[in-house]
A and B are shown apart, each in its own frame.
Chain A
Amino acid sequence: MRRSTVLLVAALAALVLAVPLLARLPYHRDLVIKVLLFGMLAQAWNILAGYCGQISLGHAVFFGTGAYTSTVLQLEAGLSPWLGLLGGVLLAVLLSQIIGYPCFRLRGHYFAIATIAVGEIVQTLALNWEAIGAARGLSLPIRPDSLAAFQFHRSKYPYYYIVLGLLLTCLAVSAWIERSRVGYYFRAIREDPEAAASVGIPVTRYKLIAMAFSAAFVAAGGTFYAQYVLFLDPESAMPLSLSILICLLAVVGGVGTLWGPVLGAAVLIPLSELTRVQFGGTGRAVDLIIYGALLTAVAVYQPAGLAGLLRRARGR
């Protein structure tokens, strides 16, 4: 690694460790946790959409799967949320293959549209499924603080370190993918599936692999969310707006890059909070207008995302 890279990583590490000292207000702390969570979701989405070129607008399904699996297993079987997290990941991976197999017959926009449809179907099912609380949702019982219970009330900082761990794991796996054959195959499929097949790449199998990685991390994020908020319903755990937000963060940050999606979350999540705090009370949706205008500006003037902007600034 170059000296500047080492320094940059060291500075980032110091910042990350110091955050609990800086963000003392609950509001700021919550914001930081949100940034890390959404950064991970966006990067997980990026594995499928950025590297492999399959734009999904149904990723909320996997988020909901993770959240609901761990919660239902706790309520019904008294299972540890950590085992529930694992179960949610496995179920989401299975579900991703069932959804992916037929949907991957579709190309480009048609694949994206199909994933919206699947997302809506799954949310509708959840809204009417009594066993998982239907539209009323599910509340998790409050337990004393412990890592085993995955609940922290006196100090919320353990949540910060857990979500940081999830994000770093997701980034590490993404970095591995970028450097290995899987990543090369993903990019070839993104560029041209027909040409990829002509050099011996089993296209559908590799799309399914990308989908599995992507779904797994989003589901883990879902379980984290359930343990953090301790309440779930289909409107909050698997709405279309969540799928779109995940996509948006990655696109604004920089699709197909390792740091872009996290960067997107680090900029957009506080920005949406800020505009809401500053202008949200007017009742005229000024916050959303400003937020929308900023997004449009990025899309028009910097289609490579914020990561592309940084790369240019560094003169590469």
Chain B
Amino acid sequence: MALLTLEGVSKRFGGVVANHAISFEVRPGEIVGLIGPNGAGKSTLFDVVTGYYRPDAGRVAFGGRDLVGLRPDQVNRLGIGRTFQKLRPFREMTVLENVMVAVMQHAPQPAAAGEEALGYLEFVGLAGKGSVHARGLSTGERKRLELARALATRPRLLMLDEVTGGVDQKTIPGLVALIGRLRERGLTLVVIEHNMRVIMALADRIVALHLGEVIAEGPPAEVVRDRRLIEAYLGGAYARGA
């Protein structure tokens, strides 16, 4: 049975249709890559699933529970963690405190929360930075922090918005390896990613969006050959030439 089910999800902002009749499933244990050119509606879809936007139509179900109408914090407590495309660390809190806050829904006592939080920081390779203010981190470190913070809520499904976006080339392999290890922990992932090499290496399945609609879905090797996807990224002329 699917862990996450989207059925006919639509979201519009005034006259702009951000998501139109989007349907797909995410099965337990798999990594689904969500791709598409800028403005395809990927981040909006994340916000719809995680309760930041209410869809105008359609159904979102997680482990059999309907998510539409729930607040972001309720969605998180049901077991969906997320990161943001524009990183949102708690800037004036230390790196350790950033993660402690997330642990506290399971371990309210600061001492216990601190210990558990340290484990997540070690996992993402930030253990040495625990007492630094989050505002002092580099972009790559902030990405790791967001990951640790999302993990600390003990999710079953993790939704990562642009894991390697804005990060220099040297940092990418480390982040990719980290995501591989998340799968080994038994997590299910939905990943938005622009770097095709990264997504090909990670994803079991790819869902491609264009102008708010699903235009291709399937194993990575098949999807990248899809004519409509090539057209969406490069324009019609290239697709005909290929």
Contacts and interface: CB of A to CB of B under 8 A. Distances in A.
Contacts of A184: 97, 100-101, 104, 110
Interface in B57-103: 71-74, 76-77, 81-82, 84, 88-93, 97, 100-102
Interface string A148-192: 000000000000000000000000000000011100110110011
Residue among A192, A200, A201 with max Cβ neighbours from chain B (10 Å): A200
Contacts of A185: 101, 104
A196 B52 CA distance: 12
B108 interface: yes
A17 interface: no
B47 to A, nearest CB: 10
Nearest to A179: B110
Contact of B76 (A188, A191, A198): A198
Nearest to B102: A199
Chain A, interface size: which category?
Answer: 10 to 19
B93 A191 contact: yes
B153 A199 contact: yes
B71 A197 contact: yes
Interface in B107-121: 108-110, 113
Nearest to B52: A194
B43 interface: no
A202 B77 CA distance: 10
A184 B110 CA distance: 9
A199 B99 CA distance: 9
Interface in A192-234: 192, 194-203
B105 to A, nearest CB: 4
Contact of A198 (B93, B100, B110, B150): B150
Contacts, number: 82
Residue among B74, B104, B108, B153 with max Cβ neighbours from chain A (10 Å): B104
A49 to B, nearest CB: 15
B50 interface: yes
Contacts of B76: 197-200
Nearest to B108: A181
A199 B92 contact: no
A188 B101 contact: yes
B88 A192 contact: yes
A200 B77 contact: yes
B72 to A, nearest CB: 4
A101 to B, nearest CB: 15
A192 B93 CA distance: 11
A188 B91 CA distance: 9
Contact of B73 (A181, A191, A203): A203
Contact of A192 (B71, B90, B104): B90
Contacts of A192: 88-91
B152 interface: yes
Nearest to A183: B110
B149 interface: yes
A276 B101 CA distance: 47
A197 B90 contact: no
A209 to B, nearest CB: 14
A25 B110 CA distance: 47
Nearest to B154: A200
A194 B90 contact: no
B92 to A, nearest CB: 6
A198 B50 contact: yes
Nearest to A180: B110
A24 to B, nearest CB: 44
Contacts of B104: 181, 184-185
B90 A191 contact: yes
Nearest to B97: A184
Contacts of B74: 202
Given A184-B110, A199-B101, A202-B73, A191 B84 contact: no
A202 B102 CA distance: 12
Contact of B88 (A195, A200, A202, A203): A195
Given A181-B104, A196-B101, A198-B76, A188 B71 contact: no
A245 to B, nearest CB: 26
10 contacts: A181-B108, A184-B97, A185-B104, A191-B91, A191-B92, A194-B52, A194-B72, A195-B84, A196-B101, A199-B73
Interface of B: 50-52, 71-74, 76-77, 81-82, 84, 88-93, 97, 100-102, 104-105, 108-110, 113, 149-150, 152-153
Give the 5 A-B CB pairs with smallest separation, nearest first.
A191-B90, A197-B72, A199-B102, A195-B88, A200-B76
Given A197-B71, A202-B73, 11 more contacts: A180-B110, A181-B109, A181-B113, A187-B93, A188-B90, A188-B101, A194-B84, A195-B90, A195-B149, A198-B72, A200-B153
